[in-house]
């Protein structure tokens, strides 16, 4: 099978969807470290639930061709917020690195759209 831009885009969108689904579940589950992080960053307790819900919603939109642009837009908006939070709070690079990878995958998916 030849790789074309549509198949690369679909593969990247699937990877981003899986990552956002995992992030959404982690935020909704709210284990101790997640709750502590959101509190340390100055967010109210409900904000973690909102983030997790938006991440799952984005993950659900990404696989479909008709909804992918909305999913990518939502995912990109989420990542802008994440990067802002991490930079504002001077988080170590080990926390910032995964956010940069997520962001790069979103950009690559958008670029593969052509």
pLDDT tens sequence across 71-82: 999 999 999 999
Rounded mean pLDDT, 59-65: 96
Query: How many residues make up the chain in this entry?
Result: 114
Give, in order, the Cα–Cα distances in Å from 55 to each of 69, 79, 89: 15, 10, 21
* % of the chain exceeding 70 in pLDDT: 96
Checking if the pLDDT of 52 tops 60, the result is: yes
pLDDT for residue 93: 87
- Rounded (5°) CA angle 11-12-17: 100
Checking if the pLDDT of 1 tops 60, the result is: no
How many other C-beta atoms are found inside a 10 Å radius of the C-beta of residue 67? 14
Give, in order, the Cα–Cα distances in Å from 111 to each of 33, 96, 106: 34, 22, 9
pLDDT for residue 3: 65
What residue spans define the domains of the chain?
5-112
- C-alpha 65/C-alpha 75 separation (Å) is 15
Instruction: Look up residue 5 and give its two tokens.
Output: 């831009």
* Average pLDDT taken over every residue of the chain: 94
The owner of tokens 């819900």 is 53
pLDDT for residue 2: 59
Checking if the pLDDT of 23 tops 90, the result is: yes
pLDDT for residue 114: 72
């Amino acid at each position: 099978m030849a790789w074309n831009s549509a198949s690369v885009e679909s593969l990247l969108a699937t990877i981003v969807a899986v990552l956002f689904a995992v992030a959404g579940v982690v935020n909704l589950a709210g284990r101790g470290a997640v709750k502590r992080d959101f509190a340390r960053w100055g967010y109210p307790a409900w904000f973690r639930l909102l983030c997790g819900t938006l991440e799952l919603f984005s993950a659900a939109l990404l696989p479909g061709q008709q909804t992918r642009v909305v999913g990518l837009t939502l995912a990109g908006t989420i990542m802008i917020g994440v990067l802002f939070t991490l930079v504002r709070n001077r988080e170590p690079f080990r926390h910032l690195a995964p956010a940069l990878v997520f962001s790069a995958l979103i950009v690559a998916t958008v670029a593969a759209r052509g």
